[in-house]
Amino acid sequence: MRISIKDNKIKLYGIIWDGDGEYISRELESIDGNYSSFDVHLHTKGGSVFDGDLIYNTLITMKSEINIYIDGLAASMGSIIMLAGKKIYASKSAFIMTHAPRGSVYGTASDLESTAGLLRSMESNFIDKYSSKTGKDKKDVKKLLEGDNWFSASDALKEGLIDGVVPDVMDKSAILNHKELKIAACLKGDDPIERILAADPQNINKQINKSKSNIMKQQLISVFAFLQAKGLNEESSDTAFVKALSEEVTSLQAKKEALEKELKDIKEKQEKERNEAIESLVNKAIADRKIDASEKDTYLSIGKNTGVQALESVLSKLGAVKPLTQAVQSGNAAGLKYKTWDEFQAKDPRGLEALKSENPELFNQLFKAKYGRDF
């Protein structure tokens, strides 16, 4: 069975195949509550009881009010689904057909008895639904399940199966053609299509494959909006779908590559700006004599590992380093006892000698301050 949705108008057309119940139920639940009411247009020859029941149960439990319009045919299980409507209307030329659920089974006597029991349970369920709608006694309603019972729209109104008759939306001849068909509300394992397409048995597999293909296409369209934007629907060819999907994949791949390149360029630009900022901070620290030029690589590494802000915080806490000659002249160099070479010579000549090997740079500064040249 196909489902199409436009605003608050829903179309349920076609045979109810095994598996349709789950798919259609999911589609109905996804739109439930979007409108205060939905008009469900029905045209079906019938099909699987279990899937039809799932569709019926979904419709009657929706928060939105459901009204059913029989556009052409509500036969077999379709006549049960229609009962989910708060109000049921049939087109003037529409038909309704009721009968008991049918099924077939291969197996032992117990298998046959079990299937018969299941069919009777289904029949009882059908009777309850028809009785509730028509207001008639169950004994009278049971007649609706004896053989195939066809009702025109006006007959169905008199029988209490529908609430009103509306103008036609389908060609009358197309509807009447279905009246000669043998249609079964069936169990899984029964093959209503064998009856429906009895005149052309070879067409069964074609119809089954087409239905499955249409369902898959509907699911693709519901997931990928671009397919509908390209004008595709469930009737479009498989080639058209493959081409559209292939084009979209190619387009998405190109967009992905473009985004990856853009992201790479952004990262490279940010990395360059970050390194330039770190370099600038370290060069400024050297210029401000907070660090020595020999320490540049160390602080560049700190910046790259911890970031610009962390490096900036570290450098901001450093004070300017005094030149060693200034330290010597002020007497503030670490471990320096005396200010000048002469003081060392006079008061601690051995200490001056030791300074030569322990701190040659400091020794050289004292010597240079005394004699004006390097030692």
- Encode 173-183: b = buried (16+ Cβ within 10 Å), e = exposed: eebeebeebeb
Q: What is the mean pLDDT of residues 85-96?
A: 95
The mean per-residue pLDDT over the stretch 22-42 comes to 94
CATH number of the structural domain 2-199: 3.90.226.10
Structure tokens at 252: 């998405």
Taking the complete model, does pTM exceed 0.75, yes or no?
A: no
Percent pLDDT > 90 in the chain is: 43
Per-residue pLDDT at 180: 44
Residues 121-167: tens digit of each pLDDT: 998 999 999 999 999 999 889 999 999 999 999 999 999 999 999 99
pLDDT(283) > 70: yes
152: enclosing H helix or E strand:
strand 149-152
pLDDT tens digits, one per residue of 365-375 = 888 888 888 88
The set of catalytic residues is 76, 99
Confidence label for 335 from pLDDT (cuts 50, 70 and 90): low
**Residues sharing a CB contact under 8 Å with residue 336, sequence separation 6 or more, in sequence order:** 327, 328, 362
Give residue 162's pLDDT. Answer: 95
Across the range 211-222, mean pLDDT stands at: 69
DSSP summary character for residue 293: G
